[in-house]
Structure 1
């Protein structure tokens, strides 16, 4: 209940910031930094920007939650100061913007949410069990009813109804979709061959919603529906979510601890460019659809004033700001990954090679 209240307050705060942040004039001397991208970390970034105003009142952030695809396009077009994405860059994007760098901020979980009543009309709470192949077949349109024998075999204690499964998915370019479809491609050869992974895919079935909030809205309004959203959106909207079978065979609830277990499992394998996925992690405690969310910055930033403020904010967010991440069900970076991110921030420059933190 405490998490639900906190998340509700953060979403209200985020709407206020959007309403007020874009049009109001900043006090003289204020540095204004604009960003756009992923909806996945929107509740956390909104909280960070709000809290940081008391740390440094001379900087103001304006972040537009438009989806990872839009964030990557805008930072590549240099129409914003930073981008945000849950998806790593494609080879084409890296070739088009070789100076663009990824910085993990937190890890989160993509959860399978549903709106379902049992055969007696009672709401089914969180805890529906789903295996990887079954989940893929639902989104492929091969399992279409809630009382399918494969579903009832995994959930013998539930009186699943004879009702159509209404699939919900993202309609926009989305890092959440990238994580979800990357997972399905790993666990289902059929999904990999017929659909594949990406920020936007050709969905075999289902209704599309814009942003995590759009998918959550479909689930709330449509009985018998099932879709995927980031964990904070599921909790904030009071949605039931499934326990997924992981690589070790355990059915795991999406929690801060199980997402952290997934990130810890891969901590020693972080590549130099930090473009790491956490899906289908080993370990009995690991939640299987987890991933980092990233900020995107140029190696050499055009404005030293903005660059310095951005780097100082990120250093605060990754250290002192991690308390807000935990409150909102995002997993702070582990100490090894955090240090790698902080070290990489030190290499950034501005205005043609000037050191940012020594300017």
Structure 2
């Protein structure tokens, strides 16, 4: 958080040396890259910063767009990536799928439990494993406890009407979502998305079984 607050400005700052005692850190200025447009990625990132830094929480805070105290803005993941690649000493944030597909190095971060966690599909799934999921699924899973949990993580959502009015389309949609959270999860890793852990799958199952088509349940008796 202190990097994005503009308080740590060199890669060989004492705070970074303490966290990386065996690394040879350069005397290079840090350039912060952030989104210039509003984005869910920014909301997730600033939500994490607000949880781990009182100064960030009381300052820029969290949101899809904030008043950045330092750095350069780029539009979209590609804009932030361009700034990082073209600027010596730059650091930025993009979604994991984009980082993997563009072969970008990622940072190990200290988790809620004090462990150093690498950004990976496994560590993102671990972040979701112990989350308390409310009925409307509106939940933050940044800075989650749990072994191996990466502290910057989030769900991707589907917005679906609880009662479907078109019988054919509604039934097909609910069965597709059921497939997606079961057999479909086998395809997630190839797309650089983390599979849902078992507790979350079970929560989704319960929700799907309560959903209806013209007032009648579709999946309750067949699954």
Specify the TM-score bucket, using the shorter chain as the normaliser: 0.7 to 0.9
The one of 270, 294, 300 equivalent to 2:133 is 270
Match of 2:145 in 1: 282
**SS of the residue 1:142 aligns to:** coil
**SS of the residue 1:291 aligns to:** coil
CA–CA distance in structure 1, aligned partners of residues 75 and 172 of structure 2 = 31
CA contact (8 A) 2:181 2:201 kept: yes
* TM-score, normalization by structure 2: 0.88
Report deviation, 1:232. 1.6
Instruction: Tell which deviates more after alignment, 175-184 or 305-314.
Output: 305-314
Q: As a proportion of its length, which structure holds more strand?
A: 1
CA–CA distance in structure 2, aligned partners of residues 205 and 303 of structure 1 = 50
State whether structure 2 residue 93 is matched by structure 1 residue 228.
yes
Match of 1:147 in 2: 12
Match of 2:205 in 1: 342
The one of 60, 66, 75 equivalent to 1:201 is 66
**Structure of greater relative contact order (alpha carbons < 8 Å, 6+ residues apart):** 1
What are the superposed Cα offsets for residues 88-136 of structure 1, whole Å, 9 maximum, x if unpaired? xxxxxxxxxxxxxxxxxxxxxxxxxxxxxxxxxxxxxxxxxxxxxxxx0
Match of 1:64 in 2: none
Match of 1:217 in 2: 82
Report deviation, 1:191. 0.4
Report deviation, 1:253. 0.9
* TM-score, normalization by structure 1: 0.56
Match of 1:357 in 2: 218
CA contact (8 A) 1:167 1:206 kept: yes
State whether structure 2 residue 177 is matched by structure 1 residue 177.
no
Report deviation, 1:156. 2.8
In the alignment, structure 1 segments of 5+ residues that lack a partner are 1-135
What are the superposed Cα offsets for residues 252-295 of structure 1, whole Å, 9 maximum, x if unpaired? 111222222221122xx221211121111113422111121111
- Residue correspondences, number: 219
CA–CA distance in structure 1, aligned partners of residues 160 and 73 of structure 2 = 30
| Alpha carbons of structure 1 residues 333 and 166: separation in structure 2 relative to 1, 3 Å | same
Match of 1:330 in 2: 193
CA contact (8 A) 1:307 1:356 kept: no
Instruction: Tell which deviates more after alignment, 256-265 or 179-188.
Output: 256-265
**SS of the residue 1:281 aligns to:** coil
Instruction: Tell which deviates more after alignment, 197-206 or 293-302.
Output: 293-302
The one of 192, 206, 227 equivalent to 2:57 is 192
In the alignment, structure 2 segments of 5+ residues that lack a partner are none
